[in-house]
């Protein structure tokens, strides 16, 4: 048996348990913190957690890899889908009103295999780093179900599921948040697979056909019914740290169509990091590359070089030499401050 295949089987064996859904700690996860912070938390299909969600929807299963925790599926089974969709509609209306007078909106998007404690630490650091005007600026702390585990061998197994979850979080979660805003400067700062959340919000993601069928039949979510990104005259800048995506994520969603997707003219810049010593990206880009969704945009120059032939909005900063893939490592690297300044973001002294 090939040594790489044996290693993959070993990984699957070692990670058969201990994978958890990333769910909110708060019983009011989609909330506003005065004067200028909004929390936005979606499940594996991009549905927003309602108030007192645990009482209505129950505890998440212990094995997040094997068992779904889909709000829409539970709501459909219990005949309360109108309650869930009604909450989402009202919460998005509230958010629209909340940010109506704001000029700038900063959105933070974490990656896969990250629990709330780790994410909150990273979000808090960025929040303190940026010079915020409480009257004109809003911070949106976006959370999605990227699964997580304390098992050091489980990252690869989480990846198989988190790739689709990231696309759903973007198309049905983040996109609806973006559609509530108009004529604003929007800065989206993402890490790792959070780049997929962002891309899926900005353009139509390419889903696996089997996944599309299952998500509709089992979870009662029709991918083809997602609303498009509205042309609201926003100016969107994306800063993608360690983007765990590849060329495939920029291709048309139509099967057999190898053309590149089109971005809204609202997308003014996509500024990425390149890091050929990132151990996590290197592992995925190695022998697992053919078995997993590609992660090489944040790892190698060749994907970036292909994209700049198609898009004029790209820029890059080289983080090579830093081995860690951790969100906290990227945002504490001095080059992150350089990226922020390059995009017109003033920092606290």
pLDDT value for 258? 76
Judging by DSSP bridges, how do beta strands 37-41 and 32-33 pair with one another?
antiparallel
- Distance between CA atoms of 288 and 89, rounded to whole angstroms? 40
DSSP 260: B
User: Over its length of 349 residues, how does the chain's per-residue pLDDT go in tens digits?
Assistant: 444 444 444 444 444 458 899 999 999 999 999 889 999 999 999 999 999 999 999 999 988 777 899 999 999 999 999 999 999 999 999 999 999 999 999 999 999 999 899 999 999 999 999 999 989 999 999 999 999 988 766 666 777 788 889 999 999 999 999 999 999 999 999 999 999 999 999 998 878 788 888 889 988 898 888 999 999 999 999 999 999 999 989 987 765 667 899 999 999 999 999 999 998 887 665 544 444 566 789 998 999 999 999 999 999 999 999 999 999 999 999 999 999 999 999 999 8
Q: What order do you get walking across the sheet with 235-241 strand by strand?
A: 32-33, 37-41, 137-143, 104-109, 185-191, 235-241, 267-274, 314-318
Domain boundaries, given as residue ranges, for the chain: 3-342
CATH number listed for the domain at residues 3-342? 3.40.50
Residue keyed to tokens 């209306």: 93
- Secondary structure element (H or E) that encloses residue 81, with its range: helix 81-98
CB atoms within 10 A of CB 58: 11
Contact 141, 37 (CB under 8 A): yes
Please measure the distance between the N-terminal and C-terminal CA atoms of the chain and give it in whole angstroms.
57
At 164, list the tokens.
């689709």
pLDDT value for 1? 44
CB atoms within 10 A of CB 141: 21
DSSP 237: E
pLDDT value for 255? 57
pLDDT value for 288? 46
Collapsing DSSP to helix, strand or coil, 170 comes out as helix
In DSSP notation, 275-324 reads -TT-HHHHHHHTTTTTTS---GGGT-HHHHHHHHHH-SSEEEEE-TT---
Collapsing DSSP to helix, strand or coil, 140 comes out as strand
């Amino acid at each position: 048996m090939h040594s790489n295949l044996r290693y993959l089987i070993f990984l699957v064996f070692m990670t058969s348990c201990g994978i958890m859904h990333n769910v909110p700690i708060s019983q009011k996860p989609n909330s506003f913190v005065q004067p200028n912070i909004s929390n936005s938390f979606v499940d594996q299909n991009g549905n927003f957690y309602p108030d007192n969600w645990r009482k209505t929807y129950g505890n998440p299963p212990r094995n997040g890899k094997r068992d779904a925790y889909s709000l829409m599926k539970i709501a459909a089974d219990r005949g309360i889908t109108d309650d869930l969709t009604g909450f989402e509609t009202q919460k998005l209306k509230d958010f629209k009103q909340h940010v109506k007078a704001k000029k700038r909106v900063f959105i933070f998007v974490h990656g896969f295999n990250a629990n709330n404690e780790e994410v909150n630490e990273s979000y808090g650091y960025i929040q303190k780093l940026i010079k915020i005007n409480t009257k004109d600026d809003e911070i949106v702390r976006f959370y999605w179900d990227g699964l997580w585990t304390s098992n050091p061998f489980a990252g690869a197994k989480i990846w198989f599921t988190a790739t689709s979850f990231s696309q759903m979080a973007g198309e049905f979660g983040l996109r609806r948040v973006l559609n509530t805003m108009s004529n604003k400067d929007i800065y989206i700062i993402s890490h790792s697979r959070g780049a997929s959340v962002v891309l899926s919000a900005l353009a139509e993601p390419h889903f696996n056909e089997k996944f599309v069928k299952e998500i509709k039949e089992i979870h009662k979510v029709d991918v083809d019914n997602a609303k498009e990104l509205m042309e609201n005259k926003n100016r969107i800048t994306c800063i993608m740290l360690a983007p765990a995506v590849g060329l495939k994520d920029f291709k048309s969603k139509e099967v057999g169509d190898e053309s590149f997707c089109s971005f809204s003219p609202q997308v003014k810049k996509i500024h990425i990091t390149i890091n050929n010593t990132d151990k996590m990206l290197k592992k995925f880009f190695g022998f697992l590359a053919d078995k997993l969704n590609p992660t090489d945009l944040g790892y190698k120059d060749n994907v970036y070089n292909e994209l700049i032939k198609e898009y004029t909005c790209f820029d890059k900063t080289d983080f090579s030499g830093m081995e860690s893939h951790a969100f906290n490592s990227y945002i504490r690297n001095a080059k992150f401050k350089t990226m922020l300044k390059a995009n017109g973001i003033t920092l606290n002294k």
